[in-house]
Amino acid sequence: MSDLSFSDIAIVACGTMRLELTRLQEEGFLDTEHIYYTTPGLHQDIHELERQLVEKINKAREKVDKVIVVYGGKFCYVNADNPLRTMQVIIEEQGPGIARIEASHCMGMIADEAEQEKIAAELAGGEKVWWMTPGWVRFRKLVFKGWDKGLANENFPRHTGGAIVLDGIGYLDQYMAEHPEEFLDYCDWMGIPMQGYPTSLDRLKSLLTAQARKL
């Protein structure tokens, strides 16, 4: 990976992934000056997601000819009115020089399905898990915009294995230490316990590298 440069590539990403991508910038792996973020949590508002995504891609192309989109495909954009309109269709409409990393959602950018199953077996005895990344904690108010306690009760408690944060940046431990009341409030609102699982950003690096080599 070390022989690859992203200096002539722009990144357009869901804001939920800002923490991980910032870390990759700080480490020198992601050596681009052009990273554009959409608002976290837009999987709940696909029309705004599409508007911001196209806007950010256009802005990126004012700087460079090559763009990598850091968005999941299967779960981040679900158009119930037009199921054939997918994330990939939207990206293809923007023309050449644009690639999207191969993942279904942000959790899959950090750990693939096999690794998630392994983690669930280790931490949750194979019970159903609500998966998260640090962005789901940091940007809680945006990711769960419009959710009340009733909606939370409909969704979270069925995940009997609790919530697991795939943490490649050491975020959750720091968050619990610095904001213990917020952390406990978050768990109480969800109605399930939350724990972090330390991992690396190697999978995200490989996904970015794979698309950079194609451009």
In tens, the pLDDT along 21-71 reads 999 999 999 999 999 999 999 988 999 999 999 999 999 999 999 999 999
Q: Where are the domains of the chain?
A: 9-106+201-214, 112-198
Of all residues in the chain, the percent with pLDDT exceeding 70 is 99
- Catalogue the E-assigned strands of the chain: 9-14, 35-38, 66-70, 98-100, 130-132, 163-167, 194-198
Tokens of residue 27, six digits:
């480490």
Distance CA 138, CA 130 (A): 16
Give this prediction's pTM: 0.93
Position 2 scores a pLDDT of 54
Position 1 scores a pLDDT of 44
Of all residues in the chain, the percent with pLDDT exceeding 90 is 88
Which class is domain 9-106+201-214? alpha beta
